[in-house]
Structures are given as C-alpha cells and as structure tokens.
Structure 1
Amino acid sequence: MADASTKVLVVGAGIAGPVLSIFLKSKGYDPVIYERTDGPISDAGLSLCLQPNGLLVLNKVPGLVESIDGRSIDFFGFYSVLPEDKGTLAESDIPKVLREHRGVGLVGVRRAAFHQTLVHAAEKAGIPIMWGHKLVGLSQGDDYVTVKFENGSEATGSFVIGCDGLHSNTRTSLFGEEKADFTGLVQTGGICTIPESLKSTPPMVRNVFGHAAHMVMYPINGTQCSWAATQREPEAKETWKAMNKDGAREFREKTTFASWDYGAGDVVKSTETLIKYGLYDRPELAAWHKGRVCLIGDAAHPTSPHLGQGANQAFEDVGLLVELLDKHNPSSAPPSAAVLEAIFSELEKVRIPRTAALVKQARTQGESRVVDGVEACIKRNAAYREIWKDHDSVAKHMSHIYEDKQ
C-alpha cells in the first residue's frame, strides 16, 4: 500500500474525477478532488447515454452500476419527417444484443442524477471533495506539484490529473488560452415525462430527421425522457442556462419540431424548461501532460455530442490510466518523474489517436444529420437505411466505437 504522502490532486468533480478517484483510492493512493463549483449542480446538462465501452470501466467499481438510476435501452430507431421521403429509415435491436452477448449495453441517465451518484460513491469511499476551489495556477518541482486556487488556498501533491471539462483551467495552465471551436450547430433540449405516444414502445434511442434538422430522444429512467434538437443557428454560448419562458413557449408552439411525428413533437410540447446551447470542440493536443500534470476526459479531448461518447471516452481514459499506474508503479508509492513520464506518454500513445478520431467523427456525424436541401436530405436518409439494414453492417459501422480497450 502507498504511503499517505502519495497524494493525488484530482481537479474536477464532474463525471471523470469521482470515478478516477475511487480507482486511485482502491489502489492505495490518497486522492483529493478540487472542484470550482460550490456543490453539485442540479441543473447541469441534460442526460448521458452510457455505452458499452464506458460501462465496462464502471463495472470494475463494485456496486456502482447497480446504483445508477437509469433506463436500459433495447433499440435504435431512425425516422424521417421529410415530406418527400417520410417514414421509418431503420430500427435495430443492437443495444439489446450487445447487453445479452457482452453483459453491457446502453443506459440512458439524467446527468444530474448520475453525477450525484458518482459524488456519493466517492464520498462513501472516503475521498474528500473540496468544493469552491477554482484552479488559477500551478507550479512543479522534481517530486511535487502545487496548485493555487482562486480562494487563496493552495494544495500540494505528488501529481495532478485535470478532469475539469471543456473549460479546463488545468489545460489553460499547461498550454495557455485557446478558443473553443464553435461547430456551427446549436441544440435545444429538455427533459419531460414520457408522453403517452411513447409509453407503449420499447426503450429506444430515437433519431428523427427533417430538413436541416435532427432530434434525438431516449428514456433516462422509468418515467422521464431526454431530447435534443439540432439545427444550424448563430453561435450560442454553452451556458446550460434555461431559456426564458417566452423563448421556451415560442419554441414549443412555433418551431417545426413541435409538429414532428414519431413522438418528437410530443416531447417538445411536454417540456416546460428548455435549454439552448452551442456545440463546441477544441483543437487536438499533441500531448496531454507536462511534467507531473496530465489531462483526461473533456479537458483533453472535448467533443460535440453526436456519438454520445464524451463521458464514455473519459471512462476509457480512466481505465487505461489506472492500468498504467498498476503497470509502472505497482507499489503506489510516490512516483518518480521518470515513472510518471512513462505512464502519461503511454496513455497519450494509445488514447490520443482514438479520441481524436472520434471527435472528428462526431463533428462529421453532426454535419451529416442537418443537411440542407431536399436532395441532400434524401441522400442522408438513404445512407441511414444502408448502414442500419442488417446486423453485419451495423457491427462494422460501430466496431470502432465499441472496440474493447479494457
């Protein structure tokens, strides 16, 4: 077991930070989480779809997956409301097949509830979470890192893992200011009670396509579903703040989405609180670490949400990082600079190509979903019919996402 001085500073108590800290604690390290917010935010984000590659990591924490309040997904569905090409494009039970064959499938969760579960699990494991600690700088020595916070306090540890998301202060401290890249797409979404039109259908991720527009929706527990509509609009900030009442009412009553079939219009009209946000990613980094500080998750490779892989890729980062700590530092003693260099470099060698490819594919998929013009929309619909026509083509299409890295 490690000496108590093997303190690890984990920056960010969002999705990756608590999970990483639970693993570190179980290996004998002494993790402490530092989070910029004053506590868990109940209205942060909408939902997540936990997928096989992420669940394989979470399953290694005893009892964690069983404690998640979510809804298993059995089907994917693809539908068109385009008047010139309306109808079912494809339906697939691949999520159910994945769960039956691999033990893990897809699970829809409300982000705030899932976050609360992770925070409680970390606290139960005895991991301190220091709320209200916004990182503003750091300095390194041969065998330590000192982090400075906006509130005037400091903390010193053996190494630092930055898990502080798209707006990562850890990343800025390492690599300087960068402008997040607006993808040109904006989403409006919300959470509502599952409407009557969808209650008799199996739990499904539904994709509905229109002219220059796309909507995805899926259940997140036994009574609620989450949805997000994507279209091209002027840049909107990623504040995750609720729209004002007039704006929400106008969206529900006057946008084309409210009249869509296949349950899409029903969820729009059933949602009281709407959130509107721009979709962003950032330039690919050539390295995720400097010295004793390393980034993972959205801090390292933020992505637009069109593959639903943001959180799942963060969990892959966590899984491999913990494996590499075991490999290069099995005693969990304070690692030397050379040991950390080996760990972080090997992490980057595996993870940078994979995450970079998925970030690019997510942006491409978002672009392909909201094409403009009838001819382009019909071509898009035909592509979905072809990709999802049978299990073999689906498996080929998805193999690069669900490849087993654990």
Structure 2
Amino acid sequence: MAATKVIIAGGGIAGPVLAMFLKAKGYEPVIYERTDAPTDMGLSLALQPNGLRVLELIPGLLDKIVRCRVDEMISYSALPEDERELTRSRSQLAEILGHGIEGTRRPVFLRSLIEGAQERGIPVHFSHQVVDVEHHGDSVTVKFADGTTDEGSFVVGCDGLHSNTRVSLFGKQEAIFTGLTQTGGISPIPEIYKGPDLHPFFNIYGDGVHMIGYTINETQISWAITQREAEEKETWRDMDEARQKEFKEGPFSKLPFGGGELVRTADKIIKYGLYDRPELQSWHKGRVVLIGDAAHPTSPHLGQGANQALEDIYHLVRLLSKHNPSAAPPSTATLESVFTELEQLRIQRTSELVKKARKMGDIRVVSGVEACKQRNELVRTMFTSEVAKAMFEDLGTNPFEPGKSEI
C-alpha cells in the first residue's frame, strides 16, 4: 500500500519541521512553497525552551542549526532623566528546563530546515503559491497559481501571515495595523557586549521607543526598534540604501548602551508594520487544517511566533499517532477527531499568548517622562520577581509531558 500523501502548504519554519515528523511516522509529506527559493527575508528569531524541546525530537537536527545561547539578560533605561541599567541576571533557564534561549539568523535557520527535509527524502517544490483547495470524499486537491494541481489525503496550511490556505477556507480577513512599527538589523557585536560567555539578550527602553537585541552567532547581534508611528507595510524587506543611510545617521544612532553602535554598523536594515488579524474560532475545514502563523499570527513582543508553531506541530503529530497509528489514509471522521482535539488544546493557549504579546508591546512603548519612569519600574519588577521565572517555566514545560522524549 502506498504511503499516505500529505500536502504541506508553506516551506518556512513549520512546514519542513512538520514534514520531517510526518515522514518519520510513515506518511509521505510533500512541501509546496510560494517563493522561488528558501527566503532570505527577515532577520532572526529566538528559539525558546518550548520550541527547542520539539526540535530536539528530530534526531540530529539541532546539531545542524547555527545558533547562539543567551547567557545574560539585561535591561536599560535610555531616558535622559533616568539613564541607567535596570536589571541584569545570568540566564538559568537551561539548568531549570534543559534549554535556554538561543538566537539564530532566520534565513540560515530556514535553509537548515529545508535541507533537513530534503535529506530525509521529502520533496520541496518552490514557486508554487496555493490559490484554492477542493475537497473530495477522501482527498483534497490543491490548486496553484501556475495552473498546476496536486492531490493528497489531507492538507496542512503552514503558509504564514499571508496564508492563502486560510483565505481558501475562511475568506479574506483584513489585517489591522497596531500603531507600532519595527525597524531591525544585523550588526557586529559592540564592545559593551563582548566578553567570555556574555552572549546578551538586552532591552533598551526610551521615550516612545523600545530596542531589543540578542546574539545570533559568535560575531553578530540581531536587533529591532519598536515605535509608534505612521502605518508601514508588512513586507519584512530591506530598506533602500537612501533610507538605510538616513536611519543609521538619525536619532537612534545615539542610543546609549551599545544601541547606537548597532544602528550605525548594521549590514542591512528592514522595516515593517505590526498587524493584528481576526482570531479564528476553528482552524480546520474538512481535510484541511491550519497551524502556526496561518492559524494564530502574533506580534513579536514575546518571541513566541515560531515556538508556538512548533508546539502546534508536536500536538498535531501526537494526535495523528493517537488516532491513526498505522499512518494509513485517515477517514474524514478520524481527521475531524484529530483536528478538533488539536483546537481544544491549542486555541485558548495561543489566543492568550497573542494577547500577552500585544500587551507587552503596549507596556514597552510609552511616551512622556513620567510614563516612561513608571514603565522602567515595572520592568524592574518583572525581571527581578518570580513573574519572569514563572513565565519561562510555563513556556518550557507546558504543554509537554515531563520527561517526554518522543511523540
């Protein structure tokens, strides 16, 4: 009997990881990605304990991912009336949870995932943009923009913020600008952050601005500045040379605590608006299910976007193993059980994290001296109390079974 074919829409982070798990379970996944090659868009991401626990379940994968652990958590105030270090602590997450926070350059990470999938015999087809899905009794046909089609037992939409799979299931839903933009770059590590086992994860809080940064390898830091301003498109593409030069010479080039140096020395700078999307009450229809940003896009203020997608994958594969242990072509009723149980586990959790991320953005970016001073004291409380520890413990342990080493 031929293996059960699963069509995965999207070759970003979630798609290749899901494909590797499905292949190991006896399915025959195939990935379709809209871009013509592994994308070089975006800057970096912070792999957190929950995400790393999923990735380590794929033998040998973490060994091939270039990443840099975070050893020091630092917060500063750049407010002229209150310029100082707010908090500093050595990260103990790895000792507590088995994993800490690890920064990685996004395009490099994506290429490693695509290569990992291809090495396991998983086809990856670029230049294939989903435009529609058509349900049959025991299969789904996916239609692509170039006029081609493919048919599989079921489809998983991993096609991100601009998911065409989502549109084909639930129609087009307008994104809402949050009032915040981010400008970010990749820069050499400044002197202030050089030192044995320093590898910082830092926050710089100013008046109407917040800067975050972390090491992504032994020589570079990825950073992003969030501020309230006019709407920007959600492109995640490089600024043109003139805009980059203007930004590098602008007011942020004078940020203290290494922030200005990072701005001035960036090898590329991108800018994008931050948007919210309507919350879905269901992630599936028939034999098609959404996961990751296609299902629950979130603002980046908790760094949980990719990590939550990895949690989705863990549970989807676990539930497929539970309800369809033979990996035979599942009935529509079996898939309904899998997808419904996935939603029961994941919708509330991801919804809460989306709201927490939005709230964190509002906390970080405030204007006016008094409001900024209050924010600074809140930051001190957050990162010197058990609140931060409890949050990270939740991200490291929930929702996995203690000591679980397989799906």
Q: Please list, as runs of the form range in 1=range in 2, the aligned pairs for 1:72-87 lying within 5 A after superposition.
A: 72-87=69-84
Identical positions, percent = 54
Find the partner of 2:16 among 8, 15, 18.
18
CA distance in structure 2 between the partners assigned to 1:383 and 1:22 by the alignment: 42
CA distance in structure 2 between the partners assigned to 1:101 and 1:385 by the alignment: 22
- After superposition, give the CA deviation of every residue in 1:251-298 in whole Å (9 maximum; x if it has no partner): 11122x211111111101111421110011211100000000000000
CA distance in structure 2 between the partners assigned to 1:239 and 1:197 by the alignment: 32
Indicate whether 1:294 and 2:289 are aligned: yes
Give secondary structure in 2 for the equivalent of 1:206: strand
CA distance in structure 1 between the partners assigned to 2:109 and 2:21 by the alignment: 18
Give secondary structure in 1 for the equivalent of 2:384: coil
Cα gap change, 1:318/1:397 in structure 2, threshold over 3 Å: closer, same or farther?
closer
Give secondary structure in 1 for the equivalent of 2:34: coil
Indicate whether 1:370 and 2:344 are aligned: no
CA distance in structure 2 between the partners assigned to 1:196 and 1:382 by the alignment: 27
Deviation at 1:5, TM superposition (A): 4.4
Which residue pairs with 1:210 in the alignment?
206
CA distance in structure 2 between the partners assigned to 1:32 and 1:313 by the alignment: 22
Find the partner of 1:275 among 252, 270, 275.
270
Which residue pairs with 1:394 in the alignment?
388
Find the partner of 1:48 among 45, 52, 76.
45
Indicate whether 1:104 and 2:104 are aligned: no
Tell me if structure 1 keeps the 8 A contact 2:49–2:395. Answer: no
- After superposition, give the CA deviation of every residue in 1:202-245 in whole Å (9 maximum; x if it has no partner): 01110000001000011101111100001011110111221122
Residue identity in the other structure for 2:395: I
Deviation at 1:189, TM superposition (A): 0.7
Tell me if structure 1 keeps the 8 A contact 2:75–2:202. Answer: yes
CA distance in structure 2 between the partners assigned to 1:284 and 1:92 by the alignment: 36
Residue identity in the other structure for 2:123: P
Find the partner of 1:8 among 6, 16, 20.
6
CA distance in structure 2 between the partners assigned to 1:403 and 1:184 by the alignment: 33
CA distance in structure 1 between the partners assigned to 2:341 and 2:210 by the alignment: 38
Indicate whether 1:235 and 2:231 are aligned: yes
Residue identity in the other structure for 2:133: L
Q: Which runs of 5+ in 2 are unaligned?
A: 401-407
Q: Which runs of 5+ in 1 are unaligned?
A: none
Deviates most, 62-71 or 167-176: 62-71
CA distance in structure 2 between the partners assigned to 1:38 and 1:252 by the alignment: 31
Tell me if structure 1 keeps the 8 A contact 2:157–2:294. Answer: yes
Which residue pairs with 1:195 in the alignment?
190
Indicate whether 1:180 and 2:175 are aligned: yes
- After superposition, give the CA deviation of every residue in 1:349-383 in whole Å (9 maximum; x if it has no partner): 01000000001111110111111111111110001
Tell me if structure 1 keeps the 8 A contact 2:3–2:26. Answer: no
CA distance in structure 1 between the partners assigned to 2:367 and 2:192 by the alignment: 29
Residue identity in the other structure for 1:63: G
CA distance in structure 2 between the partners assigned to 1:26 and 1:400 by the alignment: 28
Residue identity in the other structure for 1:368: I
TM (norm. structure 2) is: 0.96
- After superposition, give the CA deviation of every residue in 1:15-59 in whole Å (9 maximum; x if it has no partner): 0000000000000000000111111122x1000000000000000
Find the partner of 1:260 among 252, 255, 260.
255
- Structural RMSD (CA): 1.2
Deviation at 1:399, TM superposition (A): 4.0
Which residue pairs with 2:405 in the alignment?
none
Tell me if structure 2 keeps the 8 A contact 1:387–1:397. Answer: no
Indicate whether 1:171 and 2:163 are aligned: no
Tell me if structure 2 keeps the 8 A contact 1:248–1:272. Answer: no
Deviation at 1:85, TM superposition (A): 1.6
Find the partner of 1:226 among 199, 222, 226.
222
CA distance in structure 2 between the partners assigned to 1:4 and 1:38 by the alignment: 29
Give secondary structure in 2 for the equivalent of 1:388: helix
Tell me if structure 2 keeps the 8 A contact 1:252–1:258. Answer: yes
Residue identity in the other structure for 1:114: F
Tell me if structure 1 keeps the 8 A contact 2:10–2:157. Answer: yes
TM (norm. structure 1) is: 0.96
Tell me if structure 2 keeps the 8 A contact 1:190–1:274. Answer: yes
- After superposition, give the CA deviation of every residue in 1:326-363 in whole Å (9 maximum; x if it has no partner): 10000000000110000000000010000000011111
Paired residues in the alignment total: 399
Tell me if structure 1 keeps the 8 A contact 2:7–2:30. Answer: yes
Give secondary structure in 2 for the equivalent of 1:316: helix
CA distance in structure 2 between the partners assigned to 1:222 and 1:272 by the alignment: 16
Residue identity in the other structure for 1:77: I
Residue identity in the other structure for 1:35: E
Residue identity in the other structure for 1:405: P
Which residue pairs with 1:27 in the alignment?
25
CA distance in structure 2 between the partners assigned to 1:72 and 1:272 by the alignment: 22
Residue identity in the other structure for 2:211: M
CA distance in structure 2 between the partners assigned to 1:235 and 1:51 by the alignment: 30
Indicate whether 1:59 and 2:56 are aligned: yes
Tell me if structure 2 keeps the 8 A contact 1:207–1:216. Answer: yes
Which residue pairs with 1:358 in the alignment?
353
Give secondary structure in 1 for the equivalent of 2:289: strand
CA distance in structure 1 between the partners assigned to 2:281 and 2:89 by the alignment: 38
Which residue pairs with 1:405 in the alignment?
399
Which residue pairs with 2:310 in the alignment?
315
